[in-house]
Amino acid sequence: MLARFTSALVVLAVLAGSVLAQGSIQTLDPPATGGGGEAGAGEQQPAPPPPCGTQQLTIARMSWPSAALLAEIHSRLLTGNFLCNVAVQDMDLAVAASSMGANGQPAVAPELWVGRIADIWNAAIKSQNVRQAGTPYADSVFEGWFVPDYVAAQWPDATTIDGLKAHAAGFGDGNGRGRFISCPIDWGCAVINRNMLKAYGLDQMFDIVEPANRFELDTLIAEAVGRKEPILFYYWEPNAVLAQFGFKPVTLAPYNPDAFLCMGRRACAAPTPTGFAPDPVVIGLSEWVYLDAPQVAAYFARAKMPFEEMNSMLQQLGQEGATVESVADRFVAERGEIWRPWVGLPAAP
């Protein structure tokens, strides 16, 4: 999701990278010796295959900020810790998935929203040239309800449904009812939010505000936060807005596929509580990476970015002079406790 508030390459520890590379090489098949016997004492052994394989590792950089950041971060970590020959290529969602399915390039697409290109992704999977390496984020549910952190500090139970019921009037303008800021009226989430309020028994306690567009949605939130007003609203992650102002998620019921299916219908007669559906967002990896560079495949299986961290980086992009590259450099320099386990190192150096 795009965010309205988004706008020295760090030298990594060479010793740590060398140790990691040497240790992980043991998982690869040894090179063929070419002869039947053992090499003589003075005969030089052939070098083991590189941990990144023999092809250039191409990473698709999508146009939206979170995907661009992931591409640049992975490029730096694979280069610094696995000595990969990495190239970052600007691509769009459909072209990247289609090209991976046709010829195995790019090697990596770090944030593929496959639900938006289902036919292309399914065809790529059938080609057996691409597969899902994992998910780019530590959480798979991208949508939710939120309250400002100052509301959670005032009413700690306001992040629960029972707490919202108890303090509903406090979220309003004095008419005894709260105010729920939903998404724009022509978005599908507007229907879902109406049904979810009803399912949780909040429809008689909260008035729904459906803004005309994304700009109005962000303005309503910013104005309320500026006045320190209690608000309940719908939003999604990763997003700079949630880091910029400081919000807490409301705890909803576990996701129920049947219940959520009804949420999307305008005529959902009896909605029942459920959380939002997980979104199919994956790390796409070309099949040849699993065969030629299994350590790289294992890296991407471990590389799950916390939403809070990406929200923070998207906020940094809004700062004067910030670029995707500079924010990626800063993450690598300062957030080793997050990325070191991705490359197989302890979280603490």
- pLDDT tens per residue across span 279-289: 999 999 999 99
| Mean pLDDT of the residues in the chain | 86
DSSP assignment, residue 252? -
The neighbouring-strand residues paired with 148 are 247
Residue 241 predicted with pLDDT over 80: yes
Question: Which tokens in the block code for residue 113?
Answer: 């929203």
- The pLDDT confidence band at residue 340, using thresholds 50, 70 and 90, is very high
Q: Which residue has the higher pLDDT, 7 or 163?
A: 163
How far, CA to CA in Å, does 324 sit from each of 61, 242, 277, 310?
A: 11, 19, 29, 12
Tell me the mean pLDDT in the region 58-77: 97
| Sign of torsion over alpha carbons 327, 332, 334, 338 | positive
- Distance between CA 123 and CA 263 in Å, rounded? 30
| Residue 53: closest CA among 72, 15, 25 | 25
| Residue 114: closest CA among 301, 290, 291, 278 | 278
- The conformational region for residue 195 under phi > 0 = left, psi -120 to 50 = alpha, else beta, is alpha
- Distance between CA 98 and CA 101 in Å, rounded? 5
| Residue 310: closest CA among 208, 238, 214 | 238
Residue 20 predicted with pLDDT over 70: no
Q: Of all helices (H) and strands (E), which one includes residue 86?
A: strand 86-90
Residue 15 predicted with pLDDT over 70: no
How much helix, strand and coil, in percent to the nearest 5, is found in the chain?
45, 15, 40
| Residue 193: closest CA among 170, 166, 215, 217 | 217
Tell me the mean pLDDT in the region 321-329: 97
pLDDT of residue 243: 86
The neighbouring-strand residues paired with 4 are none
Choose the weakest-confidence range: 16-20, 70-74, 86-90, 269-273: 16-20
Name the residue with tokens 């996701």.
255
- Residue 132: Cβ-neighbour burial (10 angstroms; 0-12, 13-18, 19+): middle
Residue 330 predicted with pLDDT over 90: yes
DSSP assignment, residue 342? G
Per-residue pLDDT tens over the stretch 35-64: 334 444 455 666 666 788 878 999 999 999
Residue 115 predicted with pLDDT over 50: yes
**Virtual CA dihedral for 329, 114, 194, 5, nearest 10 degrees?**
20
Residue 152 predicted with pLDDT over 50: yes
Enter the pTM of the model.
Answer: 0.80
Question: Which tokens in the block code for residue 100?
Answer: 């991976």
Tell me the mean pLDDT in the region 318-326: 95
How far, CA to CA in Å, does 54 sit from each of 84, 86, 128, 291?
A: 9, 11, 20, 11
Name the residue with tokens 């146009």.
63
Per-residue pLDDT tens over the stretch 213-233: 999 999 999 999 999 999 999
